[in-house]
Amino acid sequence: MKLTVDQLTAGYGKAQVLFGLTLEVAEGELVALLGANGAGKTTALRVLSGLIKPWGGQVALDGQSLLGLSAARRARLGLGHVPEGRQLFPLMSVEENLLLGAAFLAWESRAEGLERVYRLFPRLAERRRQLAGTLSGGEQQMLAIGRALMGRPRILMVDEPSLGLSPRLAEEVLATLAQVRAEGVGVLLVEQNVALSLEVADRGYVVEHGRVVLQGQAKELIQNQAVQKAYLAL
Amino acid sequence: MELLLQTLINGILAAGLYALVASGLALAVGVVGIVNFAHGEFSMIGAFVSYLLFVGAGIDPILSLGLAAVVLFVVGALTYYGLIRPVLAAPELNQMLLTFGLSVALQNLALLLFGADTRVLFTPYQGATLALGGVSFGLPPFAAFVLSVGLLVGLYAFLGRTRLGFAVRAVAQNRLAPGLLGIETQRIYLLAFGLSAALAGMAGVMLSVMLYTSPTVGFAYTLKAFAIIVMAGLGNLRGVIPAAIVLALAEALVSTYVPGGGGWVEAVFFLVIFLALTWRSWRTR
């Protein structure tokens, strides 16, 4: 499965944010979407998952256009989205949050999904009866990712998973995303922590003012002088 | 002592119906996020459904209950689709003006169609009373209490034990995430609002027997339901039952022990809102 985004334009009210964004993510690869605050990364994810409507351009999953489909339809087609701010169900337990991630799947397949998530995040298994609102920031992030995985996405978009986490925890979360990629899921990772995300990513796109200004293999991007100067402070 | 007991029982019996109306409102507020001032008018429509079926076709209100639920579910769903959905993203004041306008419009539509008379149903069991020890109470309030409790048990079972109810609770806690997890949020809103109206409508059928049917019969229940959900914490369904009991007991005590209490009963809800908000602001300080 492949997610393709072509010449996407979008904005809020009269303020345009995306100016022809073009990128693609295939199953089994981890792609980093890099850029400064306000470059349009989060807006891009929101358009892709159907939370806001684009002004123009194309979004397709395996050639099938997603435009006009509800967010729920896109999720059912295999496009997962771990949104900014985690958006958990605070008064539900860890396990209930996870089960809601599998709400549209056959109820029987949930045990399998739980097992997979608990294997990726053993910490969540320990806290399965605890209310989501009482988890630490790192655990909440794990839960948000785990909940999205319960829907068995083929492409998973993750918005700023390292935000508010200690460097060690951030590394742990990104390492888990690399593991998810190894299981065959395509991961589109939005991150401000450029050094850390290029370490785990296969490829990367650098976004400035709503369009891609630089793209390539993660190894090449780390060596790129412009990237080093702008984002890695080397 | 007997008077007190009688008063308490009257209060408890009234609490069932209050909880039913308020649970519906709590669904609209908590799940759909809309403050629905027309909630009581759904009860009014339910009362008229019961009245017209009884007078026109001789159908007993107990049988009308199911039909009124279906009719009001459809009315609620259409209201959601036509009026609520377009203003979901609008400022709260606009939403409130809309539902307040709907309340006025429905009252006046009923006035136009049926006139302002209060209409009483004469069922065979209208005047029947049950006696228990030294206290006695009417059969209709007792039946309304039992039916309300049954419906509330059903509602809680739906929310707590079914997959759809699970999704409804999820939407109440976070509006953004369910869509990303493959849950059609719009359908959940539609269901919750339809259910909210259906609960109000069934309460209206009971009102048509216990009280009367008139274009304005529902409005007092909108206000009482608001007092209850404010006490419970807006959108908190679990708090609705204890809050309904508090309001109904307060009303019963005022009606029995305050001189000229009958006239003050309709103001108790206001005092309750006032106290609940004051207490809450002190507690969170």
Mean predicted confidence (pLDDT) in B55-84: 96
DSSP three-state, residue B278: helix
- Give per-residue pLDDT as tens, B245-257: 999 999 999 998 8
Chosen from A100, A154, A157, A158 to mutate, greatest number of chain B CBs within 10 A: A100
Whole-angstrom distance, CA of residue A30 vs CA of residue A184: 10
Nearest-neighbour CA in chain A from B189: distance (Å): 14
Q: Has residue B273 got a pLDDT over 90?
A: no
Contact B182/A51, CB-based, under 8 Å? no
Residues of chain A with pLDDT under 70: 233-234
Does B181 touch chain A if contact means CB atoms closer than 8 Å? yes
Q: pLDDT value at position A234? A: 59
Average model confidence (pLDDT) across chain B: 92
Contact present, A48 and A10 (Cβ < 8 Å) = no
How many H-runs (helices) and E-runs (strands) does chain B carry? 12, 2
Contact A148/B170, CB-based, under 8 Å? no
Contact present, A50 and A70 (Cβ < 8 Å) = yes
Domains of chain B, with CATH numbers?
A: 2-283 (1.10.3470)
- Give per-residue pLDDT as tens, B148-204: 999 999 999 999 999 999 999 999 999 999 999 999 999 999 999 999 999 999 999
Closest CA to B9 of B138, B127, B128: B138
Contact present, A87 and B195 (Cβ < 8 Å) = no
For residue A150, the number of C-alpha atoms closer than 13 Å in the C-beta half-sphere is 32
How many residues in chain A?
Answer: 234
- Give per-residue pLDDT as tens, A55-68: 999 999 999 999 99
Higher pLDDT: B122 or A87? It is A87
CB atoms within 10 A of CB B1: 6
Q: pLDDT value at position A21? A: 96
Sheet arrangement for strand A56-61: A15-26, A2-12, A56-61, A64-65
Chosen from A46, A87, A157 to mutate, greatest number of chain B CBs within 10 A: A87
Whole-angstrom distance, CA of residue B61 vs CA of residue B208: 8
Q: Has residue B14 got a pLDDT over 90?
A: yes
Q: Has residue B39 got a pLDDT over 90?
A: yes
Does B176 touch chain A if contact means CB atoms closer than 8 Å? yes
- Give per-residue pLDDT as tens, A169-182: 999 999 999 999 99
Pick the CATH number of A2-87+142-232 from 3.30.950.10, 3.40.50.720, 3.40.50.300, 3.30.1360.120: 3.40.50.300
pTM summary value: 0.91
- Give per-residue pLDDT as tens, B155-171: 999 999 999 999 999 99
- Give per-residue pLDDT as tens, B198-226: 999 999 999 999 999 999 999 999 999 99
Q: Is A13 left (phi over 0), alpha (psi -120 to 50) or beta?
A: left
